Amino acid sequence: MDLSSSSCASLSKTYHHHPFSLSLLHPNSLQLLRSHHLPHRRTLFLRNSPPPLLFSRQNNLPLTPVRVSNQSQNDSFVLEDVPHLTNFLPDLPSYPNPLQERQAYSIVKNTFVSPEDVVAQTIVIQKDSPRGIHFRRAGPREKVYFKPEEVRACIVTCGGLCPGINTVIREIVCGLKNMYGVEDILGIEEGYKGFYSKNTKRLTTKVVNDIHKLGGTFLRTSRGGHDTQKIVDNIEDRGINQVYIIGGDGTQKGAALIYEEVEKRRLQVAVAGIPKTIDNDIAVIDKSFGFDTAVEEAQRAINAAHVEVNSVENGIGIVKLMGRYSGFIAMYATLASRDVDCCLIPESPFYLEGRGGLFEFIEQSLKENGHLVIVVAEGAGQEYIASEVHAVNEKDASGNKLLLDVGPWLSHKIKDHFTKFSKMAVNMKYIDPTYMIRAIPSNASDNIYCTLLAHSAVHGAMAGYSGFTVGPVNSRHAYLPIARVTERPNTVKLTDRMWARLLESTNQPSFVASDQQRVDKE
């Protein structure tokens, strides 16, 4: 349908409170505008007409055009935006960004990110395909919505440990102080419950100077303990106006609830999330911090298993790695090692007995090579184990399902099979490096990555964005709606080339077979 100029003006009024809003559109260029389940998503379907101009307005900032090309009738542009404080505080004043006075940034050609800059979620597209989903690019803005001397920021870490947490803490503190001149920064100890149990410590650049060299979290952590009302009451009572939350899926969902309550109370509080999971199972972003370190450290365990089994007759080494629902650590560690003969992950069901089963593969490998190494992710084979031990579904304080220990179970099944049925003596070696991997400091690659994440969060909060999380999308850091990174876990795709590379590297069976193809133990 065609929209008249008056209709476009009406749409402009509807969206003027968003940091990226429609103000002036070519009268015949807009065919359809609709909202999706994400509250800040807007889709533009463009007809064959002169390329329109989109305009960005933040409070009283001048209108800045964002040109959208018109390639075909199916072309579309989607901006999944993040909330801004001016959404519910329209009269909030802005101030010049103090970064422009910093000597370090005087050498940068473009100190500030343009309001036109967006990051595409998909970079490989076909000629006539839609432009697809985009996110607001992360980085410093020309205007900020906080006076540095009036900022009271806080940082909290929740959930399990992961290499790099201390680096993120350090760089948030150093970024606030060195880039923006913020002096008042609090550390909330022991996770969400620390907000209302009064566990805090003053954070300065001197206090956090060397914490990136340590594993764990300087602020300590806990699971659960989230009480939105108590947390926001405490934020309000203490005069906190910037909240930085480091944690995984459940933690980020809690951050979204905190933002919703802040918005309901109309508080000038920026809530920024930094996604954390060692399993690399966060959707949309390229990878999670600590993942590179985990894969690198996993090599030590795999190498130890390989040395052990290579030194005995019929040696079988099993290395259990992290991965509740996603087998990325196991997959990448296997590919990096080249000493692994079989990799078992949650996404790929496997079976033991019969043609094409794990037992048959192990027997063939022992006959050919005299040894083999199996890497298994902690979430693999859970249904298989549960059917045998009749386990009751239990959850931890974060709401995560408590997993059955696949490592000892698999070791026992293999040893029992070869002792009873194949009459073959095997030497089992089992290694579980889980806590060693997650407790170490981050490596050089993750340290740099954590710095970029922390600085992106600081820039976003100072610019007035709230209820957002940060992460790299196609190697460019972006601000993402929290709902996008918590709606579903990122998992290994068994139809992708990376899994095909693993199968070729290990020469293991794909375990793709119907029940009819699986033979009984005989």
Element (H, E) at 455: helix 444-462
344 and 330 Cβ atoms separated by less than 8 Å: yes
113 contacts: CB under 8 Å, gap ≥ 6: 137, 138, 139, 140, 141, 459
**In angstroms, rounded to a whole number, what is the distance separating the alpha carbons of residues 338 and 433?**
18
Task: Walk across the sheet containing 371-377 and list its strands.
Answer: 342-344, 371-377, 315-321, 427-431
Of 392, 429, 395, 423, nearest in space to 410 by CA: 429
CB 152 within 8 A of CB 240: yes
Classify residue 260 as exposed, middle or buried by CB count within 10 Å of its CB (0-12, 13-18, 19+).
middle
Residue given tokens 């199972």 in the structure block: 281
Which of 279, 292, 339, 341 does the annotation list as catalytic?
279
Residues 304 and 368: their CA atoms lie apart, in Å, by 21
Residue 279 annotated as catalytic = yes
Cα angle at 27 between 90 and 128, to 5 degrees?
A: 100
User: Which token pair is 426?
Assistant: 């095997």
Catalytic residues: 279
